[in-house]
Amino acid sequence: GESVGLHLPTLSVQEGDNSIINCAYSNSASDYFIWYKQESGKGPQFIIDIRSNMDKRQGQRVTVLLNKTVKHLSLQIAATQPGDSAVYFCAPRGDQGGKLIFGQGTELSVKP
Amino acid sequence: EAQVTQNPRYLITVTGKKLTVTCSQNMNHEYMSWYRQDPGLGLRQIYYSMNVEVTDKGDVPEGYKVSRKEKRNFPLILESPSPNQTSLYFCASSFGGKETQYFGPGTRLLVL
């Protein structure tokens, strides 16, 4: 079946540094990708999305890069802050019923 | 405020005692979905609904029922809960199955 893998289950960065979270997906037909942030005790929160006809999209302090050739996404967070500490998921849309395919997530810890 | 709400947020019950977790959204979204989140398994889709009176199974539907009588509500029903349904449950909604899904705050269920 379809799968999503993140390259590192945990990532620790210093406050103010840039963070890069990577994600690999299996379904070459995926046409839409969402990055979610999940803080402890809360539901996943939308950060940024990208469609397959784009290779880069920027938001406020976040940038998502999509490489369809190798089926890889990355989320870059500029000037990482303590409030960025959370688990981050990339979620490609699957083939059926709008289902999002979630991987295990990467836990980002920001050291002050 | 646009949001997805779930009730209850926490629930402890015993095996076999029927329960319902409610989900409501105020964004006029057609698409609604239920996920469960378990350590090491990530978020998995239980059921989804493309619109009123239209529901379909996700990846892990066994032991669950849903209904969609109104656009805003999508309750999750456990007719005879078992301990393996102890989990964290999230409801999500979106404009159609091809758009960003917004998640509720989660319901933590413990079945003894």
Confidence at A98, pLDDT banded by 50, 70, 90: low
Location of structure tokens 């949001």: B3
A chain contacts of residue B33, beta-carbon cutoff 8 Å: 98-99
CA distance A81 to chain B (A): 23
**Minimum Cα–Cα distance from A48: chain B residue:** B100
pLDDT higher for B107 or A4?
B107
Interchain CB contacts (distance < 8 Å): A and B: 56
Q: B35: which residues sit within 8 A by CB, 6+ positions away?
A: A102, B43, B44, B45, B46, B58, B89, B90, B91, B92
Tell me the H-state helices in B1-112: none
| Chain B residues with CB-CB distance to A98 below 8 A | 31, 33, 48, 50, 94, 96-98, 101
Rounded to an integer, the average pLDDT of A4-10 is 74
User: Is B64 touching A (CB cutoff 8 A)?
Assistant: no
- Look at residue A28 in the predicted model and tell me its pLDDT: 85
With 70 as the cut, is the pLDDT of residue A95 above it?
Answer: no
Contact A99 B58 (CB under 8 A): yes
Flag the least confident range among A26-30, A86-90, A99-103, B56-60: A99-103
Place of tokens 């880069």: A56
Which residue shows structure tokens 């699957």? A94
Rg, Å, chain A Cα set: 13
Query: What digits encode the pLDDT tens for the residues A16-69?
Result: 999 999 999 988 888 889 999 999 889 999 999 999 999 999 999 999 999 999
A84: three-class secondary structure by DSSP: helix
Would you put residue B28 in left (φ > 0), alpha (ψ -120 to 50) or beta? left
Span between the terminal Cα atoms of chain A, in Å:
40
Please state, in angstroms and rounded to a whole number, the distance separating the CA atoms of residues A19 and A10: 12
pLDDT band at B33; cut points 50, 70, 90 = very high
Task: Tell me what pLDDT residue B40 has.
Answer: 81
Q: Which residues of A touch B56 (CB under 8 A)?
A: 97
State which of A6-20, A24-38, A96-110, B61-75 shows the largest mean pLDDT. Answer: B61-75
Task: Say yes or no for a CB contact (<8 Å) between A46 and B102.
Answer: yes
